[in-house]
Chain A
Amino acid sequence: QSALTQPASVSGSPGQSITISCTGTYSAIGAYNFVSWYQQHPGKAPKLMIYEVSNRPSGVSNRFSGSKSGNTASLTISGLRAEDEADYYCFSYASYMLFGSGTKVTVL
């Protein structure tokens, strides 16, 4: 099975914007729009933040946005806040059901 590669860590200061990338193959990312993103705080269940590349579920802050270019999906967090410090995972519902390697976001 192919892998979805994310940076191990990304950091930013409060108020800044950060972007987390999720790179995979054409069959995992490029061919479909079934990419979603999850936020997970320590000891908690994951929470859906973005679905179908760029859609936000009801209740999720508009500071979170998603996009895709080629075989790379991205999650951008604008106006970074302390509570955004968490692990973030992309997920592809395509040829394989695959989570990304995960990114730890640190708010400096």
Chain B
Amino acid sequence: EVQLVESGGGLVQPGGSLRLSCAASGVTFSDFWMSWVRQAPGKGLEWVANIKHDGTEKNYVDSVKGRFTISRDNSKNSLYLQMNSLSADDTAMYFCAREQSSGCFDSWGQGTLVTVSS
């Protein structure tokens, strides 16, 4: 059974940085594209970024381009999201999710909460 466990969330001041991690188990991690999806409190889901299985291709939603960097370490079965220049608009629960070739997310972590506030 696939298990995804996020960590690294917390309280950070505006303009600050945070690095999220997602540890995968029960899956051949290097076979799959992976995504980060976020959800602001009381709001809907927003896709944030994804990365190809070998790390050679990355895509981002416009609102985080230039501030967030997605990466992965297949030797550690881990996905990362480096978040810089954070603002209150980035406050959200951040989920990592496995992508299937059919363009869907079939496995999700439980999320890690990022709060940007002074």
Contacts from A to B (Cβ < 8 Å): 1, 32, 34, 36, 38, 40, 44-48, 51-52, 55, 57, 87, 89, 91, 93-94, 97-102
Contact = CB atoms under 8 A, between A and B. Distances in A.
B65 to A, nearest CB: 12
Interface of B: 35, 37, 44-47, 50, 59, 61-62, 95, 99-100, 102-106, 108-111
B95 A48 contact: no
B47 A46 contact: no
Contacts, number: 64
A52 B102 contact: yes
Given A46-B95, A98-B47, A99-B45, A51 B106 contact: yes
Nearest to B107: A48
Given A46-B95, A99-B47, A91 B104 contact: yes
A46 B108 contact: yes
Contact of A38 (B46, B59, B99, B105): B105
Nearest to A6: B44
B70 to A, nearest CB: 13
Max chain A CB contacts within 10 Å: which of B95, B105, B109?
B105
Contacts of B109: 45
A102 B108 CA distance: 18
B32 to A, nearest CB: 14
Contact of B105 (A1, A32, A48): A48
